[in-house]
Every structure is written in structure tokens, then in C-alpha cells.
Amino acid sequence: MKIAISCYPTYGGSGAVATELGLELAERGHEIHFISYAQPFRLDGFRERVYFHEVEMDQYPLFEHPPYSLALAVSIHEVASHYDLDLVHVHYAIPHATSAWIARQMMNGQTGPRVVTTLHGTDITLTGQHPSFHSITRFSIRRSDGLTAVSSFLRDETERSFGVEKDRIRVIPNFIDTDRYRREDKPCHRSTLAPGGEKIVMHISNFRPVKRVEDVVEVFARIRHDVPARLVMVGDGPDRPRAQQRAEVLGVEDHVVFLGKHTSVDELLACADLFLLPSESESFGLAALEAMACGVPVVASRVGGVPEVVVDGETGALLDVGDVGGMAKAAVGILGDADRWAQVSGAARRLAVERFDARKVVPIYEAFYREVLDGSVAAPHDMAGEDPVLPAGGLSLAEGSTSDEED
């Protein structure tokens, strides 16, 4: 198959999964064309059957914001026409699904590529809920030839918020390369991250309010009452200063390391003893899965799609949002008992390999593509007379405008 993939290229769950999916599909013999405003951050080095097409936008004084969605539509149309694409797979509904629909309308009666839209999280729970974007989000996803969601939670939210029938949405979970995310054969950074031999507690996110990074520090401070530990914070975002200030107030600033953004999180996770994810909302929890694949127990909030990834009492612990005391107690129970830690670590690794390995999930996408191409999936809802309502400022979502994207 000839497949185009459009995604956000910056740090975030949807871009990471979209890029890894494209690379895995290319390894399986498909021709893959990435279309975005910048090269996806995980698209490094030359790969056979992989192409990148940068969306070009000119700065023009008339536009306060460059019309990225329209430029993207033109790029999708050009690539589809030139390479005779079979399918366009867009990740994150706005603006990618909208742009793909526009590109198909530009085919002038020719049969254009089918469009598959994967919903990742805040495109449904946050961005799409805004009054300026709700109607166009609904129109775009309902016009897609195939719809997938990364969790059952997100599928149900899409039905509730946008009236899309559940039987039209295929749940295909996020996945990772479990050969890459593992403890073995990784450079050891423990002597640098925890020079005193302390346990390493880790958190990785975009440091947005939804991640509750102050709770991460609060839980860690309570853990230190019972277990010598160091907290390693990976990532960056607007709430980083709040987390740093909270560490100072709690007197643990000398035991907290803020590393900033890193691409090789697999090496860092291989050093961790526990992963904290006290988020207010998560449609899947990709960072938790990456930790589990490295044999790292996860203590997280019982929200959204997280219970579909972390099994409470087996691969970690799930508590209510804001229950820092309960999270700290669960963490100490795991870190303070070597046998218990080994049991949970092993279970986490096994679950990641059995359910979420790329070799298990990518073939599901391939099978779904074939269903879309042969017309055996549920058809798009009849929307005759229902026109898309564009937001007042147009659709120009590009770099930085979807900064709350799920990890």
C-alpha cells in the first residue's frame, strides 16, 4: 500500500505513535509518506520506502496566523495525486482530518485516497470541545472513511461528545517497540542520577496543568520519609517553575533533577525504579506504557484510558486524582519490598510485550486499512445538508497551538 501519514511532528504521544507506525509499516513493505510542517522528531536517518514532505507556508501580512490547514490540504492533495496514494492516515483530528477531507474534494471527480483518522486524546476531550472547533471536529471525524481511537475510554467520549456511533470507531491501542524499551543492554546512568544509590522515581510529560506535576513532587516528598530516593523529571512546559518551587517549599530540591526534554527516554526509563503519573486526564498513558516495558512499576491516577494500560495491584497502583497520600503509600509499598518490586516489575514488562508490542498492534492497523479500502467497515454517517462550520479565525493549528496534546 501507498500511505500518507499526517501528524504533529513535535514531542507528544500522537506524533510519536504516528511516526513509529509509519516506520513499522515501511519495514513491512509499504510505501510511507509523512506530511507535516516539520520533520517528525522520531524520524531520524534514512529509511527505505519512507518519504517526508514539508508543508510550505509563506508569511503574508494579510494573515495574522498562517493558514496551516489549507497549506496542509494542498500538500496532501499534491502527494496523493503524484504518488497515487491508497490511503491517508491522519493523527489528531484537528486540523489533519479537516485538511484530508478538503484534499479529497480537490480531486475533481477522481477517486481520491481513503481517509483514516486516529483520535488520540485532547483532540476530543479538549481542543474539539471548544465552541470554536466543536462543529468542524464533528464534521471532519464523521466524514472519515475509517476511525480509530487509542482506548475504549476515548471511543466512548467521542460517541458522547460528537454523536459518532461506537461501531464506527475501532479501538487500536498505542504501541511501542519493546525491544527498544527494556532494561537490558542500556547505558547505565544510575551513578549520575542517583549518586548515593537511592531509588529513582521518574516522571515524563509536557509539564502542562493536566499532568499535575506539583503532585509528582508532593508524592515524592512523602516517599522520601520512608525510602531514600531521587526524583528525575523529564520534559518541559509551563508548570515546570511551579514544580521547582514546590520542591523548594517541601525541602527536597536537592533530591530532584530536572533534565528537560530528551529523545532517548528509553535509556532513562531503564534506570528508573518507579514511574509517577498523577494526571488529571489521560486518554491512554503512553509514558506509562514505555515505563512498564522497561519493567518500571507505575503509580498513576485512575482516569481515562490509564486503567486499560496499568493493571491496579499487578503492574502498579491506581489512585484517585489528587490522592497524593495514597500514591505515596503505594509507592513505598513497592519500593520498600524487593520481592514485591520484582513481582510488579516482571508483570509490567510481560503485559507490555503481550498486549502493546508493535509486532502485535501494527498488523491490526494493516488489517483495518484493508477493510477501509474494500469498503467493509461501517460507512461514514449520511451528513447530507450538514456543512462544516469553520472557527471564526479559520483553521491554522500548527506549531504550539495544540500544546496540551496527550503524552
The answer on 151 and 9 residing in a single domain is yes
Contact 114, 87 (CB under 8 A): yes
- Please tell me whether residues 211 and 75 are part of one structural domain: no
Task: Clarify whether residues 370 and 296 are in a common domain.
Answer: no
pLDDT tens for 337-347 read: 999 999 999 99
Q: Can you tell me the distance from the alpha carbon of 282 to that of 284, in angstroms, rounded to the nearest whole number?
A: 5
Least confident stretch, 55-59, 215-219, 353-357, 370-374: 55-59
How much of the chain exceeds pLDDT 70, in percent?
88
Distance in angstroms (rounded) separating the CA atoms of residues 295 and 183:
7
**Domain contains 144:** yes
> Model confidence over 391-407: pLDDT tens digits?
544 555 554 444 444 54
Which among 307, 301, 297, 306 has a CA at the least distance from the CA of 323? 301
Query: Left, alpha or beta for 304 (phi > 0: left; psi -120 to 50: alpha)?
Result: left
| Amino acid 396: pLDDT | 52
Residues 282, 200 share a domain:
yes
* Residue 328, pLDDT above cutoff 80: yes
- Joined grid coordinates for residue 349: 514488562
Q: Which residues, 6+ apart, have CB-to-CB distance to 402 below 8 Å? A: 8, 12, 92, 94, 122, 123, 127
Same domain, 261 and 310: yes
Report the alpha-carbon distance of residue 97 to residue 259 in Å, rounded: 35
Model pTM score: 0.88
Residues 83 and 232 in one domain: no
Tens-place pLDDT, residues 223-236: 999 999 999 999 99
User: How confident is the model at residue 386, as a pLDDT?
Assistant: 54
What are residue 309's DSSP bridge partners? Answer: none
Residue 380 in domain:
no
> What confidence score (pLDDT) does residue 404 get?
44
Position 61 scores a pLDDT of 65
**123/200 same-domain check:** no
243 and 364 part of one domain: no
Helix, strand, coil % over all residues of the chain, rounded to 5: 40, 15, 40
Q: Of 56-65, 139-148, 167-176, where does mean pLDDT reach its minimum?
A: 56-65
Does residue 198 lie in a domain region?
Answer: yes
Rounded to the nearest integer, the mean pLDDT of the chain is 89
- 228 lies in a domain? yes
Instruction: Encode pLDDT of 200-212 as tens digits.
Output: 999 999 999 999 9
Query: Which structural domain, as residue segments, surrounds residue 278?
Result: 190-356
Q: Is 156 within a domain? A: yes
Q: Is residue 404 part of a domain?
A: no
Residues with Cβ within 8 Å of residue 141, at least 6 apart in sequence: 93, 97, 117, 119, 147, 158, 162, 164
Instruction: For residue 134, count other CB atoms closer than 10 A to its CB.
Output: 16
Pick from 3, 360, 28: nearest CA to 177:
360
**Judgement on whether residues 308 and 243 belong to the same structural domain of the protein:** yes
Number of domains in the chain: 2
Is 366 in the same domain as 335? no
Cell numbers for 188, please give them: 547505565
Sign of the CA dihedral with 346 first, then 348, 349, and 354 last:
positive
Query: Do 167 and 211 reside in the same domain of the chain?
Result: no
Q: What pLDDT shows up at residue 136?
A: 86
Per-residue cell: 316? 502498579
Q: Which whole number is the average pLDDT over 170-180?
A: 96
User: Are 196 and 116 found together in one domain?
Assistant: no
CB-facing half-sphere around the CA of 134: CA atoms within 13 A = 8
CATH number of the CATH domain containing 100: 3.40.50.2000
In a domain, 395, yes or no: no
pLDDT of 57 reads: 76
Place of cell 483553521: 395
Residue 116 inside a domain? The answer is yes
For residue 118, pLDDT over 90 is answered with: yes
Are 91 and 6 spatial neighbours (Cβ–Cβ below 8 Å)? Answer: yes
The angle subtended at Cα 270 by Cα 267 and Cα 272, nearest 5°, is 120
pLDDT at 218: 98
Residues for the chain: how many in total? 407
Among 172, 117, 175, which residue's Cα sits nearest to residue 364?
Answer: 172
Q: Please check the confidence at residue 381 and state whether its pLDDT lies above 60.
A: no
pLDDT number for residue 336: 96
